[in-house]
Amino acid sequence: MKLGSFAVSVPQYKIETQVIYQTIRTPTVFERMLMRLCKSYRKTPEIAQLTLVQIFEQQLGVTSASALVGPCVEDLIYLGVLACPASENYMSLRLADISLTPEGLNFLARERLPGRQQQTKVQHLFLPLSNTVQPLRASNLPGTPTSTVFISKDVLEPQDCSAWIRQELEKERHPWKTANTEIHSVQSSVAGVVWEQHQITIECDGSGVLSVKAPGSASFEQWLQMAAADIVWQHILQPILTSEPAANWPRLSDESIRHAREIAPLSRAADSTTDPSATLLHVLTNDAEKDNYFGENLILLHGKKSSILGMTILLRNAEPEIRQLDSKKGSLWLEMTVPEGLPAGLATLRILKKDGAPQAHFSGWGNVFWRGQAQRAALSLTADSTISAEIWQRLQAELQSGLNATHSATAHALTSLWLTPQETITHWQSRNEVRPVAEWLADASEFAAALERYTPHSRAQWQPYWLNALKALMMAGVTRLQTPIQPDEAIHYLTVLNQLVPDHSSDFSALLLDHCSPLTDVASLEQLRKAVGPTSVLPNSLFSSTLLQIWLAEVLTDAPLTLHEPHAFAQSLTTLRNAQQDVLRNVGMKSLTDAATGNLSLKSVKTSALTSVTQWQNAVAALGTLRAAVTSASFSRIDAFDTQVQAWRELVTQKLAHPEAPGKRFVIFDTSALIEYPNLPSCLQ
């Protein structure tokens, strides 16, 4: 298994070299002449006794010999070609006093002379991985390690690169170097370090045996294979695998390592964690990490002294019971005792949202082997499905037996992670069978929200069971009622049910409204209408005499009549108001008033007046149910208006059309009517 890829900084050394060199040249005419004189004539008496000035000026005819030949003599003496006594003026010495040195004889034979020795500095870069040097050129290599893992510069620093540098100088070109240049001395020293970064991969098999590769660098991989085991461990593997402090970390069993699905250095554990949004439930053992999961579903396993903030289950030896703590809305915090038999080093357990599968992670010290030597490494392991399932089953057993009536609905909904949602709903229903409606409805809201969080993919499957459970509880709850439900309570219950089962809230409306106290004001009726929806028919029992009196007082006025229908009283009141308005429009108030005094005024009366009067009287006759619900005083205005209408009808009957046998009637037309409607007589039957 691959533990990961890591950057390793490797030192490269700047080498500064002091080079002493000289350049071989062809001797000048005077230099060659001086060397031949010293070789062939210094023992010839006639010439040996002459000074150099005399020889060049008198014998060879050189004018100003001291100026022309003197510097040549000094150079040859300086170069070690000639040997002579010390003198302030070498041209005044006799030829017998000057001799060729062995080097001089060699140079004369080769017709070559050495130049003056010179010194220069050159810079190279030593590459320890390949044991080579190369000219130092401008680069962007940093002067400090760029990664936290690096090979110390003392490990690969060369002792002396002079021999490598001398060989390299033979191949290189420099401004000071020609074909006749001879290098006399090379002295090298380390002048600085630059760092080159390489990538390595570390793998670990089920037995804990480590292997290291550098896939991007053949030279570094070769060095890793050939380097001493302790060097690679100390400078590369140990910083990666033991970067975490050893205190308080448990020892991981060999079985945990053998059955691990993934292994990573503990320092890389944060990089491999599962996305919290993809997790239904987190189980932690490190209290310091709780803030990273605020608002998530979380279980924290720890010892006696730990505490928790967050949706958490704390497992303490000191307090065996499961205790619920305050938490952020929509999350659950519990604490409980650590189950026995959990593997050492358990760090986290996650229940994944995708398939509900558990995934366990371990953190601690484990045994690994590097080239046959046992070492300790701080590791983070991802367990296989078998180990993860065993841990989750132990936690399930503790939770199943520990949850009781003191815990919230959110805590009980947690069981849906291992039970079917139907079983979880059944258990919740049994807990609420004898509770009042207000209590179990509040519990239902919390339970449904938690159940949906824990089972995000199966809501459609458990929704029918949830609806049946609510119906059963509501039926049992209203059956136990000793007093009617107050309107505000009924409105609250229906509002909650709209949220719990938005498509089925009407199933509960009739049951609740049949046990509800009558409404006394329009505002309560408006809230109730919003709660039950626009189509539900409200029963007559909901309307108190007080509310009916309000409507009766407004029905014959111009005030808006807010009835919040449909209900039985709405149709009667609406029909009555419409009939009154038709009477006022087709008969007129003046005609009604005059009829009360026996005067028939027909100026504002329309042809449909008698029909409007009949509709009014029918509407009044249909108010029997309404009359039975209120006092007779509430109908005073209606009765007064009805008296006026009845008086008008009787007066019209007396003066315009006396009663005849059924089916017959006298009709009187004025000429204006016949002129406006000439076909009217032919339409009468």
State residue 588's pLDDT score: 92
pLDDT tens across 18-63, in order?
999 888 788 888 888 888 889 888 888 888 888 988 988 888 888 8
Q: What is the dihedral of CA 645, 646, 648, 649, to 10 degrees?
A: 120
* Dist. CA 212–CA 201, nearest whole Å: 6
Contact 93, 87 (CB under 8 A): yes
Give 186's pLDDT tier (boundaries 50, 70, 90).
very high
Decide if pLDDT at 308 tops 60: no
Confidence at residue 140, expressed as pLDDT on a 0 to 100 scale: 67
Instruction: Name the more confident of 681 and 6.
Output: 6
What burial class does residue 476 get, using C-beta atoms within 10 Å of its C-beta: 0-12 exposed, 13-18 middle, 19+ buried?
Answer: middle
Distance CA 281, CA 296 (A): 7
Say yes or no to pLDDT of 121 above 50: yes
Q: How far is CA 97 from CA 39, 53, 113, in A?
A: 12, 14, 22
pLDDT at 234 over 70: yes
What pLDDT was estimated at residue 320? 47
Euclidean distance between the first and the last CA atom of the chain, given in angstroms as a whole number: 106
Half-sphere exposure of 675 (CA within 13 A, CB side): 3
According to DSSP, the β-strands at 2-23 and 118-127 are: antiparallel
Interior angle at CA 130, CA 124 and CA 131, nearest 5: 55
Task: Return the number of other C-beta atoms located less than 10 Å from residue 554's C-beta.
Answer: 17
Q: Which DSSP letter does residue 538 get? A: B
Q: Round to whole Å and give the CA distance between 327 and 330.
A: 8
Which pLDDT tens digit goes with each residue over 536-589?
889 999 999 999 999 999 999 888 889 999 998 999 999 999 999 999 999 999
Residue bearing the bigger pLDDT, 232 or 310? 232
Are 311 and 295 within 8 A, CB to CB? yes
- Enumerate the β-bridge partners of residue 124: 15, 135
Tell me the torsion sign for CA atoms 644, 646, 648, 654: negative
User: Percent of the chain scored above 70 by pLDDT?
Assistant: 93
Q: What is the pLDDT of residue 303?
A: 60
Query: Across all residues in the chain, what is the average pLDDT?
Result: 85
Beta bridge partners of 119: 20
Q: Which residues pair with 289 in a beta bridge?
A: none
Looking at residue 517, its pLDDT comes to 92
CA distance 203 to 82: 72
Q: Please list, in sequence order, all residues whose beta carbon lies within 8 angstroms of the beta carbon of residue 234, skipping any fewer than 6 positions away.
A: none
Global pTM value: 0.66
Q: Read off the pLDDT of residues 317-354 as tens digits, 9 standing for 90 and up.
A: 444 477 777 777 777 877 777 788 888 888 889 998 88
Sequence-distant (6+) residues with CB within 8 A of 503 are none
Res. 275 pLDDT band, cuts 50 70 90: low
pLDDT in tens, 410-466: 889 999 999 998 999 999 999 999 889 889 999 999 999 999 888 877 888 888 999
From the centroid of its chain, how far is CA 447?
Answer: 27
- In this predicted structure, the answer to whether residue 470 has a pLDDT above a threshold of 50 is yes
**Looking at the predicted structure, is the pLDDT value of residue 611 above 50?**
yes
Q: Which residues contact 337 (CB under 8 A, 6 or more apart)?
A: 315, 316, 317, 319, 320, 398
Task: Indicate if the pLDDT at residue 669 is higher than 70.
Answer: no
The Cα–Cα gap between 416 and 409 comes to 12
- Residue 627 CA to residue 572 CA, distance in Å, equals 11
Tell me: pLDDT of 311 over 60: no
**What is the per-residue pLDDT for 26?**
82
Q: Is the pLDDT of residue 3 over 90?
A: no
Average pLDDT over every residue of 381-394: 92
Please provide the DSSP assignment of 216-277 as one string: T-HHHHHHHHHS-HHHHIIIIIHHHHS-S--TTPPBPPHHHHHTEEEEEEGGGGGGGPPPGG
**DSSP helix/strand/coil, 363:** strand
Q: How far apart are CA 17 and CA 176, in angstroms?
A: 14
* Rounded CA separation 56/52 (Å): 6
pLDDT in tens, 632-654: 888 999 999 999 999 999 888 88
